[in-house]
Amino acid sequence: MDRLSSLSRFKGMCPYLGRTKQSTLRSLCTATSPKYPTLNKLTEKATQCPVLGPVLSVRSKQVVAGYASLAGTADVKKIHEQKGVHLPDNAASADISMCPHASAAARAARMAEDLAAAKRKAAAKAAHAGQAKGDATAAAAAAAGCPFHAAAAEASKAPKKQAKPGLFDYEKFYNEEIEKKHKDASYRYFNNINRLAKKFPIAHTSDPKDEVEVWCANDYLGMGNNPVVIETMHRTLDKYGHGAGGTRNIAGNGAWHLGLEAELAALHRKPAALVFSSCYVANDATLATLGSKLPNCVFFSDSMNHASMIQGIRHSGARKVIFKHNDLQDLEAKLASFPKDTPKIIAFESVYSMCGSVGPIKEICDLADKYGALTFLDEVHAVGLYGPRGAGVAEHLDFQAHLAAGQSPAPIPGTVMDRIDIITGTLGKAYGAVGGYIAGSTEFVDMIRSYAPGFIFTTSLPPVTVAGAHASVRYQMEWMGDRKLLGLNVRALKKRFAERDIPVVPGPSHITPVLVGDAALAKDASDYLLAKHDIYVQAINYPTVARGEERLRVTITPRHTQEQMEKLVDAVDDTFNTLGIKRLQDWKALGGRAGVGLPDDQVKPIKDIWNDEQLGLLDGSAPKQLRAGEKHYVDQRAVMVTRSRFEKLLGKVEEAPKLRAGAPLGLVDARATAAAATVVAAAA
């Protein structure tokens, strides 16, 4: 256990140690190498690593040299006396087992020999691979014992490009920039996580047998493996193949793209929508185009806006004014400083993804009306999750009005969503796909379509991807149960964290940011959770969040069970204890940070976006939280309606689905099928 405790200190430096499960490390540490008796299996493996191999070699020589440095007979005799060792006068000089110093020296020497032998074997193996497959393959073979260092080993062996005298040294510049990230602990490590469709929210690491629970994915509803989504994608792939064939202007504009855009426009009750390859591109291209086209345009940007919005504004070349996060007074003061006839755009978000706060959408609309500004609302972390049809927070604010309007695409005058000029959203989070979009007036969308380089000059999304996204959007428009269950799980998780004094940045949304407050500690916490508890939660550091506000961004889904939730809370509690991370009470003693532990007179009550009535807690209609072994509910009516959207392109599906996720689609009760058929006919 002492060796394992020591290893934990180096998990942040060695990706292999950081990613390997504690049980595996324990086994490697305690198992003797069959080839080198003085080494354990982990040490033997380390000799093959391009980083640890040379270090072990040097260290073993230092140990042997340390023992050999005491050569004088008098010194050895003195050590014997101090240790209480009494050798007979006639003891053979070769019999060293009775002397702890000599025995240790001999063991060190043997270990040094075994290390050298293991290293020679690794080098010979690499050389043999090089002769057979070329020098590049040899470099990879040399790092095979530590695959996470393979790229580093190959790069270190490749000849360095030297700058010519008097010219700029580009490689040196790259290295210096990377070194800055290492020094301030903001260097990004990308974990190898492979989500399993039939085991969501389980994934495997680089080893398919090494499974972990994912607690930070943006597939908030688990729609990435919804059965009707998968079915639609399979059918589309079989008929239409993979790629789109070109840009939207050249061979890449099909019925799938037009159908999805019509659905998204209807979702937000706007006249038109436009699909992009991602919402980063959608935000960047739209804001850059608007700002460059509107004469003397001024952007008013929330201080916590996403990087895509910041870049779009920067690329526009227009003037930018930043207002304090969600601060209406600051925003109004800055709006009032410009003439009313100056074109203005207020760019903000509904749900801010790293802190979980929610923008004051209605109040910003009021200011926009007063000062003649356009409103640009990013609903990326809200679409699919809020509102009776999943259109986002703007829809949720007039919940009953939109619920009563059903699936009508017509705008509802006076509602918050109708007052927003431009809405952007993603297909890559709650809808479990990829892509982004904008929605607004017909003229606005047509202008962006005609001028935005980010839309015009890129290959359009593949039909199979668009079909899956469309099926996901439609399913969520018809079924509210997933987002209700998500709301219940979020409440339960935040309550359990509070009971353990685990600091959570307060907010009304589904985002659950656990405050750590230190970049290195956040990385260590993420590594520890993965190594010891098989739980993957990504650490969030600067520049995504401010320095000193580093955190673990936890996102629960409707598919997490109560047992998995309890395991997570226990694991985070253990991580805080082991690494000495500050608790809620510690932050209170320090005066608070990032909204955590503030003095009582500064704490403002926060209401969840989903209230008790909307969640079904008042009338008993709330969905049931999952227990271990239970399958997630799949709504049959929503499946049937979703299928109906694709009959023209794909034909009818003769079978109806079972009601549980993870099972194949098959026949169900005839009465339910008939009822679903009635709904399909009404929706057609």
329, 334, 340, 345 alpha-carbon torsion, rounded to 10° = -90
Fold held by 244-456: Aspartate Aminotransferase; domain 2 (3.40.640)
The pTM of this model reads 0.76
594 φ/ψ sector (left φ>0, alpha ψ -120 to 50, else beta): left
pLDDT at 682 over 50: no
Residue 197: per-residue pLDDT = 93
pLDDT band at 134 (very low <50, low <70, confident <90, very high): very low
Q: Which CATH number fits domain 167-233+462-632: 1.10.10.10, 1.10.3720.10, 3.90.1150.10, 3.60.20.10?
A: 3.90.1150.10
Residue 306: per-residue pLDDT = 96
Residue 555 burial (10 A CB sphere; 0-12, 13-18, 19+): buried
Per the prediction, the chain carries an average pLDDT of: 84
Q: For residue 637, what are the contacts with CB-CB under 8 A and spacing of at least 6?
A: 478, 479, 675, 676, 679
pLDDT band at 50 (very low <50, low <70, confident <90, very high): low
pLDDT at 143 over 50: no
pLDDT in tens, 459-472: 999 999 999 999 99
Whether the CB-CB separation of 64 and 105 falls below 8 Å is answered with yes
Q: Kindly state the tokens that stand for 188.
A: 């990004």
Q: Kindly state the tokens that stand for 392.
A: 């986002």
Please give the average per-residue pLDDT across 588-613, as a whole number.
94
Burial code of 469-506, b = ≥16 C-beta within 10 A, e = fewer?
Answer: bbbbbbbbbbbbbbbbbbbbbbbbbbebbeeeebbbbb
pLDDT at 174 over 70: yes
Q: What is the location of CATH 3.40.640.10 in the chain? A: 244-456
SS3 365: helix
pLDDT at 45 over 70: yes
Q: What is the location of CATH 3.90.1150.10 in the chain? A: 167-233+462-632
pLDDT in tens, 243-254: 999 999 999 999
pLDDT at 66 over 90: no
Residue 105: per-residue pLDDT = 57
pLDDT at 157 over 70: no
CA distances from 54 to 19, 156, 160, 518, 531 (A): 22, 14, 21, 32, 25
pLDDT in tens, 399-422: 999 999 999 999 999 999 999 999
Catalytic residue flag (residue 172): no
For the ranges 125-134, 319-328, 387-396, the lowest mean pLDDT is seen at: 125-134
Bridge partners (DSSP) of residue 497 are: none
Q: Kindly state the tokens that stand for 2.
A: 């002492």
High-pLDDT (> 70) share of the chain, %: 74
pLDDT band at 39 (very low <50, low <70, confident <90, very high): confident
Residue 94: per-residue pLDDT = 43
Residue 237: per-residue pLDDT = 97
| Cis preceding linkage at 343, omega within 30 | no
CA distances from 512 to 220, 354, 515, 552, 608 (A): 12, 9, 9, 8, 12
Handedness of CA 106, 108, 111, 112 (dihedral sign): negative
Indicate which residue of 11, 45, 429, 523 is catalytic: 429
pLDDT in tens, 513-565: 999 999 999 999 999 999 999 999 999 998 899 999 999 999 999 999 999 99
pLDDT in tens, 617-628: 999 999 999 999
Whether the CB-CB separation of 163 and 171 falls below 8 Å is answered with yes
DSSP conformation class of 515: E
d(CA 346, CA 363) in angstroms, rounded, equals 12
